[in-house]
Amino acid sequence: MKTTEADDARTRLAHDLAVSIAGALREDLEHQERVTLVLSGGSTPKPFMQALSALELPWSRVDITLADERWVPTDHDDSNDRFVRTHMLINAAAQARFHPLVNDEKTPEDGAEDVSQRLAALTWPASVVVLGMGGDGHTASLFPDSEQLAEGLESEALVIAAHAPSVGQPRISLTRDRLMRSRRRYLHLNGADKKTVLASAMAGSDRNELPIRAFLDAPLALYWAP
């Protein structure tokens, strides 16, 4: 299949992002035993994860978890867990230790305490958090139409259960507080539509309208391709 200029640009961006994050992890591993890498799901990160997985690192000392997850079985097509295991925990990165955001409880409300306890044992602040953004300005599972948005933006909890009319499945999400407990944050976007949404976010201040605004008041490295 012939690739387009946009495809080529996204591939180059994914490689550049992978190299940057690998360098950050190496830097922290020089003075600490373990590091935490927080990733986001969705279609955008696939080439980035594949590129990062092939880079040489002491992966056995890297803990990987997710910014958010749908409360579905790990073999479900919509599972971020499955996505990470398929596209990130391969090649050299197969030696990394993955920490899922789901368990066997029926609801994220029931499962959140166990998830929080497991993630609290990781090395914080995280070395790297990689965020994405939806067309509605959400990041992680902090949706503008979610009744849990205020909790997600203001709580000092590690994770929250999240529901929103705009999405079909219940979610679990790291809070803004926990995502900000990181040395470096990256925002990975593709497409002109996402650029337009981000420009709107940067021009205003209402976090409830566009939750990504809650992450724009601190250093955030933007990686965008058409």
Return the bridge partners of 173, or none.
68, 160
Asked whether the predicted pLDDT for residue 223 surpasses 90, the reply is yes
Question: Among all chains, which residue has been given the structure tokens 């139409």?
Answer: 145
In a domain, 199, yes or no: yes
Helix, strand, coil: what percent of the chain each, to 5? 40, 20, 40
218, burial (CB in 10 Å: exposed 0-12, middle 13-18, buried 19+): exposed
CB 159 within 8 A of CB 112: yes
**pLDDT tens by residue, 105-134:** 999 999 999 999 999 999 999 999 999 999
Q: For residue 136, what are the domain limits?
A: 5-206+216-225
Instruction: Give the count of domains, the chain.
Output: 1
Residue 43 binned pLDDT confidence (cut-offs 50, 70, 90): confident
Task: Report residue 20 CA to chain centroid gap.
Answer: 16
Q: Tell me, what CATH number does 48's domain have?
A: 3.40.50.1360
Output the six-digit token pair for 44: 């955008």
Say what the pTM is: 0.97
Residue 3 binned pLDDT confidence (cut-offs 50, 70, 90): confident
**pLDDT tens by residue, 50-103:** 999 999 999 999 999 999 999 999 999 999 999 999 999 999 999 999 999 999
In a domain, 160, yes or no: yes
Asked whether the predicted pLDDT for residue 1 surpasses 90, the reply is no
In a domain, 211, yes or no: no
In a domain, 105, yes or no: yes
The answer for residues whose C-beta is within 8 angstroms of residue 95's C-beta and 6 or more apart is: 59, 60
d(CA 57, CA 44): 23
**pLDDT tens by residue, 170-207:** 999 999 999 999 999 999 999 999 999 999 999 999 99
